[in-house]
């Protein structure tokens, strides 16, 4: 069998054994449930400060002229009002609860000084709205009596506002115009999925390597295949499963957000965001999986696996948290620009910096090229460590010993 055929055979075995285990199915279901719950919780916090339902105001024949002033006043106060023409008898029935219709107040009498009928005390917001509408009507009435045109006067007053020009905003630098909050939120959600997918995939690789060493299965396998083929097949197979997780979880996140209306009115290309996440998962996985697979061969017991995976976990968490705290404060800072070109930082920083729209056209392609250049070096390191350590038994093998050979 050819080398590629051997690697694919090992990868197929890893996909079947990892993807179909009960633990992985349960964990994937739990993560899907968390995404759905988080979407609804986010929807609650986004909508909890929304204003109440529209105010219901009844008007008589004499006060129906207050309809336009009431609606204009409600628009200025960022509230809604429904103006309903009705008789006083119908209004009293609605206010006392004898009728099914809901009513907050009824206006009757002189529109310049109307009587506001309420069930039990006037709502301050409603009273202010009626007062504004009444004053607007009285003002327009006085203008008409003086021979003026109220509509022309209102248009003139509405256009009498200054035009703001920002010196910082002209060149697009500085200020907050470059920050898109919803897009930033999507980017953070995406890199969170990326983080957990990388952690899960890396842990599976490390545990698989140590498990084979502990059971001595690796000795049988290496009698027929080369160590590099075994490591490559393992990384490829678990990578396929990791990519499946990213697509499923990222797609679930996008679908849940769209289904409950979180994406309504937001100019976010979810397809492009998912594509970017998949790209950085592939690059990030190639970088970290090689280290997890190679370094796990240094230990021979499951109890010791934490000694090699803990530093790698820090190598994942440090870029993630630095992205959270550094990028929002200064997305175009020198430190951020430099770190976002470092292969282990780029998968986390680049998507979030993209959310601010501050990336120069050359930055992302350069970071991708640097990551691709770093991968062969990591392949050499991981292969050398794995070849020297996979057949080592007993205590933990030092990294320096594995590299020296």
pLDDT top residue among 97 and 316: 316
pLDDT top residue among 277 and 334: 334
The most confident of 60-64, 189-193, 397-401, by mean pLDDT:
60-64
Of the pLDDT bands very low, low, confident and very high (cuts 50, 70, 90), residue 160 is: very low
> Are 145 and 247 in a shared domain?
no
**Contact (CB, 8 A) for 319 and 348:** yes
Identify the burial level of 340 via C-beta atoms within 10 angstroms of its C-beta, where 0-12 means exposed, 13-18 middle and 19 or more buried. Answer: buried
> Are 228 and 81 in a shared domain?
no
Please list the alpha-helical segments (H only) found in 77-180. 88-96, 124-145, 150-159, 167-170
Flag whether 176 is in a domain.
no
Contacts of 70 by beta carbon, 8 Å cutoff, 6+ apart: 57, 81, 83, 129, 130, 133
pTM, entire model: 0.61
Q: Which whole number is the average pLDDT over 142-166?
A: 61
Each residue of 322-334: pLDDT tens digit? 988 888 778 888 8
Q: What is the structure's pLDDT at 341?
A: 92
Each residue of 361-385: pLDDT tens digit? 888 899 999 999 999 898 888 888 8
Each residue of 220-259: pLDDT tens digit? 777 788 888 888 888 888 888 888 877 887 778 777 777 7
* Domains in the chain, number: 2
> Are 204 and 146 in a shared domain?
no
Flag whether 164 is in a domain.
no
How many percent of the chain have pLDDT more than 70? 82
> Are 68 and 27 in a shared domain?
no
> Are 198 and 338 in a shared domain?
yes
CATH code for the domain in which residue 75 is found: 3.40.190
> Are 240 and 320 in a shared domain?
yes
> Are 204 and 331 in a shared domain?
yes
Of the pLDDT bands very low, low, confident and very high (cuts 50, 70, 90), residue 268 is: low
Contacts of 394 by beta carbon, 8 Å cutoff, 6+ apart: 300
Flag whether 239 is in a domain.
yes
> Are 325 and 197 in a shared domain?
yes
> Are 205 and 85 in a shared domain?
no
Q: Which of 30-34, 114-118, 146-150 has the lowest mean pLDDT?
A: 146-150
Q: Domain containing 69: what range?
A: 55-150
> Are 208 and 309 in a shared domain?
yes
pLDDT over 90 at 342, yes or no: yes
> Are 127 and 197 in a shared domain?
no
Q: What is the structure's pLDDT at 372?
A: 93
Flag whether 290 is in a domain.
yes
> Are 221 and 370 in a shared domain?
yes
Long-range contacts of 182-187 (CB under 8 A, 24+ apart): 182/263, 182/266, 182/268, 183/266, 183/267, 183/268, 183/355, 184/328, 184/352, 184/355, 184/356, 186/257, 186/268, 186/270, 186/273, 186/355, 187/273, 187/351, 187/352, 187/354, 187/355
Flag whether 168 is in a domain.
no
Flag whether 307 is in a domain.
yes
Flag whether 348 is in a domain.
yes
């Amino acid at each position: 069998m050819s080398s590629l055929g051997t690697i694919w055979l090992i990868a197929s075995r890893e996909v079947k054994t990892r993807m179909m285990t009960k633990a992985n199915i349960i964990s994937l279901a739990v993560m899907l449930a968390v995404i759905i719950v988080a979407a609804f919780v986010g929807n609650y916090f986004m909508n909890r400060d929304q204003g109440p339902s529209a105010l219901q105001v009844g008007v008589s024949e004499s006060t129906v002229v207050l309809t336009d002033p009431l609606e204009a006043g409600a628009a200025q106060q960022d509230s809604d009002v429904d103006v309903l023409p009705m008789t006083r008898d119908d209004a009293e029935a609605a206010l006392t609860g004898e009728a099914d219709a809901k009513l907050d107040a009824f206006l009757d009498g002189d529109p310049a000084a109307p009587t506001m009928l309420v069930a039990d005390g006037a709502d301050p917001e409603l009273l202010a709205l009626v007062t504004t509408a009444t004053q607007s009507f009285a003002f327009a009435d006085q203008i008409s009596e003086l021979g003026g045109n109220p509509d022309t006067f209102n248009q003139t007053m509405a256009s009498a506002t200054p035009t703001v020009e920002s010196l910082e905003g002209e060149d697009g630098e500085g200020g907050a115009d470059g920050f898109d909050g919803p897009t930033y939120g999507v980017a953070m959600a995406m890199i969170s999925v990326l983080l957990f997918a990388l952690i899960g995939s890396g842990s599976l690789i490390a545990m698989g390597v140590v498990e084979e060493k502990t059971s001595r299965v690796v000795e049988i396998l290496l009698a027929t295949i080369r160590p590099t083929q075994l490591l490559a097949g393992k990384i490829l197979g678990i990578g396929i499963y990791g990519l499946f997780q990213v697509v499923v979880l990222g797609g679930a996140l996008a679908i849940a957000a769209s289904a409950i209306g979180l994406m309504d009115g937001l100019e976010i290309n979810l397809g492009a965001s998912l594509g970017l996440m998949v790209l950085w998962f592939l690059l990030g996985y190639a970088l970290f999986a090689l280290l997890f697979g190679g370094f796990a061969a240094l230990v021979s017991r499951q109890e010791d696996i934490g000694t090699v995976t803990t530093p790698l976990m820090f190598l994942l968490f440090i870029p993630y948290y630095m992205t959270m705290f550094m990028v929002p404060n200064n997305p175009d800072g020198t430190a951020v620009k430099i770190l976002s070109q470092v292969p282990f930082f780029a998968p986390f920083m680049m998507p979030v910096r993209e959310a601010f729209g501050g990336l120069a056209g050359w930055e992302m392609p350069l970071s991708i090229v640097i990551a691709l250049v770093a991968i062969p070096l990591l392949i050499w390191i991981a292969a050398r460590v794995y070849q020297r350590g996979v057949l080592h038994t007993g205590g933990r093998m030092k990294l320096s010993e594995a590299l020296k050979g």
